[in-house]
Structure 1
C-alpha cells in the first residue's frame, strides 16, 4: 500500500524534475547578452544548452543504478550538491569554454537528481495509476518552462545574466530541504550485486527487453524533436522573426500552455484508453506537425504565425508521449526501475544533445536545419515505436 498520497508525491517529484527546464529555459532570454559578454556569436553560447543536456544524460546514467544500490535520497543529495556548486561558479566563467565545463558539472548533478523521480513513482505505484502520477508530475514540472523565460527576462533586466544562476542555486538548496523532510525513504534495491557490476548488468537487462527499448527510444527521439526547437528558439523568435526579449516568453510560453492543456487531456484519456495507444497517437500527431513545418520551410512560406501553432503541436504532444511511455516501460521492470529510468533519461538527453550540437554545426541562418532535424527525430520515434513495442502473438 502506498505510504504517500499520489498528489503529494507528484508535487515533490515534479519540483525535482523541474530542475532541468528551469536550468535551461531561464537563461534562454539571456543568450544574446551572454554572447556579448563572452564576445562570441550566439550559436557558440547556444552550444551550452546542448552541453547541459549531455551532462544530464551522464548524470542519469550514473544516478539510476546508484539510486537502486544506495536509495533515492542519497543520490538526490549528491546531485543537488553538484548542481548548486556549478550554478554558483558559472557567473565567474572567464570564457565560453569555461561556461561549457561548469554547465556540464551543473547538469551532472541535475540529471542525477531528476532520475530518481520516475523510479520513485515505481516504488509506490504501477500501471495506469503510475501513468496518472507521472502525468501530474508533468503538470507540476510544466509550470517551470511556463514561468522560466519570464523569470529569466526579469532577472536579466534587473540584475544581469549572472543572477539567473544564483537563483538556480537557491532553488537547488530549497530542493535539498524538500528531499530531506518530505520525500519518503525507500529501501535500496541493490542486494549483493557489486555496484561496478550493477552499472552495466542492470542496463544489460533493460536493453534486452525489446518492448521497453521501443518505449525508451521513442521517448528519447520525440523529446529530441522538441529540444531541437528549444535549442534554436532564441534565434528563431528573436533573431529570425525579430521578437523582443519581452515578447519571447509569450511566444515560448504558448508551447507550455499547450502542454498543460494536453496534460489534463491525458488524465481523461487514461480512463478510456491504454497508455501505449495514447502514446502512439501523440507520436503520429507530432510527426505530422513536424513534417508540415519542414515543407513550409522548404517552400519559403514559413511565417511566425505558422511557426507558433505548429511548434505548439510538436511540443504539446510530449504531454501525451512522455508520461505514458515511462509508465509503459516501468511496468516491465520491478527490480531495475532505477536503471530503466536512468537509461530512458540518458538516451533522451544524449540524443537531444547530439541533435542540438548538429543544429549548431549546420546552422545556416534559416529555420530549415531546425525543421529538418525535428522531422527526422519525430518520424524516427514513431517508426521505432511501431516496430519494437508490438506484442508477440501468443502461440
Structure 2
C-alpha cells in the first residue's frame, strides 16, 4: 500500500480520527441545555468531558496492542460501529447517569477506531512519517475549529439531542467509507517468530527503548501545556479580559489556524531537515513564546499582547507533538498500535491534570495559566536534554 495507490486514504484517516474532537467539542455549547433537560446539575454534565477523556485513554491502552495482534481494519470497523450506536443512544437518553455511561462507551469505542490511524500513516509514508502526521493533523484540526460552531447552529434550529444524531450520522458515513476503502496493512504480529508473546509484550518493548522514553515524555509535557490552554482559554478571554462569546470564537479559531499553519510548514520542511530538528525548532519557539506570555501576565499587559504570545506558542506545541509522535512511531514498526496507545494515553492523561492544577492555583488572573504552560514547555526542554544525552551514549553491549 502506497500513497500513489491510495491517494485519498490520508483524508479518510483524518475523518476517522476527527470523531474524537467532534464528540468532545460539538456538545460543549449544549451543556446547560442537557443539564436542564436531564434534571441534573451543570457540574454533572461537565463531568462527562473528564469521563470521556478517561474512557478514551483506557480504550487506547486496550486496543493499541490488539491493533498490532489482530489487525487494524477489524478494530476500526468495531470502533466506528460502537461510536455510532452510542451516539444514537445518547440522542435518546433520559437519565443523567446513563448519559455519563454512554459518553464513556462512545469514547471507548472511538478509541478503537482512532488508535489504528498512526499505523496506517507510518505504512503510507515510511521514513516520511512526520510529513504524513502533519497532513493528518492539518486536516483533523478542522474538527475542533468547526465543531463548536456546528453545535451552536444545531441548537439554533433544534435541540441538543440533534447534536448526537449528527454525530451518529457522521459515524455511519465514515463506517461505510472504511468498510469499502480501508485496507488491512499488516498481518498480526503473533505470526512473527521474533515477536514476543503476551498482551503486554508490546508495552515492555516500547518502555524498554532508551531513546523512546524521553521522546514520549516530551510529547506528554507538550500535551499538558496544550490542555492548559484548552482548559483555561475561555476563562482567560471571556472572564478575565471580558471579550464576548463571538469574539472568543474568533480568537479560538485564530489559534486553531495557527496549529494548521504549523502543520503545513512542517509538512513542507520535515523531509529536508528531519523530525528531530523540526521538534527542536518548535521547542525554541515555544520557550520564547511561553516566557513572553509569562512576562505579559506579570506586567499585566492587555489582551492583544496575550493573543500575540499565545499564537506562536500554539504553533510550536503542534510542531513538537507531531514530530515527537513520528519519531516514536518510527522506532516501533511492528508495534505502532502499542506505541500509539502509550502516547495517546499519556497525552490525554496529562491533559486531565490541567484542570485540577489550574483550579488549585486559581488567583482570578491569567498568571497560573501562563506559569503552567511555561512549566510544561520547560519540562519538554529537560526531556530533550535527556534525549540528547541518551543519543550520545553507546547502545548497551556495544564496543
Residues 91 and 165 in structure 1, CA contact (< 8 A), matched pair in contact too: yes
Distance in structure 2 (CA, Å) of the matches to 1:242 and 1:46: 22
- Cα 1:187/1:275, change in 2 over 3 Å: closer
Gaps (5+ residues) in structure 1? none
Counterparts of residues 32-47 of structure 1 (less than 5 Å): 33-34=33-34, 45-47=45-47
User: Residues 53-83 of structure 1, C-alpha deviation per residue, up to 9 Å, x if partnerless?
Assistant: 2222112111211111111111112222332
Deviations 1:115-163 (A, max 9, x none): 1111112233322x22211111112111112222221221222223332
Q: Secondary structure of the residue that 1:261 maps to in structure 2?
A: helix
Match of 1:336 in 2: 335
What is residue 130 of structure 2 aligned with on the other side? 131
Larger Rg: 2
1:313 has 2:302 as partner: no
For the structure 1 residues 342 and 360, does the alpha-carbon distance in structure 2 shift closer, same or farther, using more than 3 Å as the test? same
Cα distance in structure 2, aligned partners of 1:364 and 1:340:
38
Distance change >3 Å, CA 309–CA 102, structure 1 → 2: farther
The answer as to 2:345 corresponding to 1:346 is yes
Change in 2 beyond 3 A, CA 1:74/1:229: same
Task: Tell me how far apart the structure 2 counterparts of residues 103 and 275 of structure 1 sit (CA, whole Å).
Answer: 36
Q: What is the CA-CA distance between 1:298 and the residue it aligns to?
A: 4.2
What SS is found at the alignment partner of 1:49? helix
**165-174 vs 362-371, greater mean Cα deviation:** 362-371
Give yes or no for contact 1:83–1:105 (8 Å, CA) kept in 2: yes
Bigger shift: residues 36-45 or 357-366 = 36-45
1:205 corresponds in structure 2 to 205
Residue 68 of structure 1 corresponds to which residue in structure 2? 68
1:146 has 2:145 as partner? yes
State how far apart, in whole Å, the 2-side matches of 1:222 and 1:287 are: 11
CA-based RMSD of the aligned residues comes to 2.9
Query: What's the TM-score once normalised by structure 2's chain length?
Result: 0.87
Shift of 1:92: 5.2
1:270-322 Cα shifts (integer Å, max 9, x gaps): 243121111112123223323333343344x1533233233322322233122
Q: 1:173 corresponds to which residue?
A: 172
Q: Is the contact between residue 11 and residue 137 of structure 1 (CA under 8 Å) also seen in structure 2?
A: yes
CA distance, structure 2, for counterparts of residue 36 and residue 247 of structure 1: 26
With normalisation by structure 1, the TM-score equals 0.88
Question: 1:314-359 CA distances to partner (integer Å, 9 max, x unpaired)?
Answer: 3222331222212211221222121111111111111112323443
Q: Does the Cα contact within 8 Å between 1:84 and 1:169 map onto a contact in 2?
A: yes
Between the aligned partners of 1:283 and 1:115, the Cα distance in structure 2 is: 26
Q: Distance in 2 between matches of 1:367 and 1:37?
A: 33
Matched, 1:355 2:354: yes
1:171 Cα deviation after fit: 1.2
In the alignment, the residues of structure 1 paired with residue 337 and residue 237 of structure 2 have an alpha-carbon distance, to the nearest angstrom, of 38
1:84 is paired with a residue whose SS is helix
Check whether the contact 1:228–1:355 (CA below 8 A) recurs between aligned residues.
yes
Matches of 1:74 and 1:264, distance apart in 2? 31
Q: SS at 2:378's partner residue?
A: helix
Instruction: Report which stretch shifted further, 276-285 or 97-106.
Output: 97-106
Relative to structure 2, which stretch is displaced further, 77-86 or 3-12?
Answer: 3-12
Given the superposition, is the C-alpha separation of residues 80 and 364 from structure 1 closer, same or farther in structure 2, using an over 3 Å criterion? farther
Shift in Å at residue 204 of structure 1? 0.7
Following superposition, the deviation at residue 232 of structure 1 comes to 2.9
Aligned partners of 1:237, 1:160: CA distance in 2, in Å?
27
Range with greater deviation from structure 2 (158-167 or 273-282)? 158-167
User: Distance in 1 between the 2:354 and 2:36 partners?
Assistant: 25
Aligned residues between the structures = 393
Against the structure 1 CA distance between its residues 42 and 287, is the aligned structure 2 distance closer, same or farther, given a 3 Å change threshold?
farther
Superposition pairs of residues 139-288 of structure 1, within 5 angstroms = 139-191=138-190, 198-288=198-288
Alpha-carbon distance between aligned partners in 2 of 1:365 and 1:47, rounded to the nearest angstrom: 22
Deviation at 1:268, TM superposition (A): 2.4
Q: Secondary structure at the match of 2:184?
A: coil
User: What is the Cα deviation at residue 42 of structure 1?
Assistant: 6.0
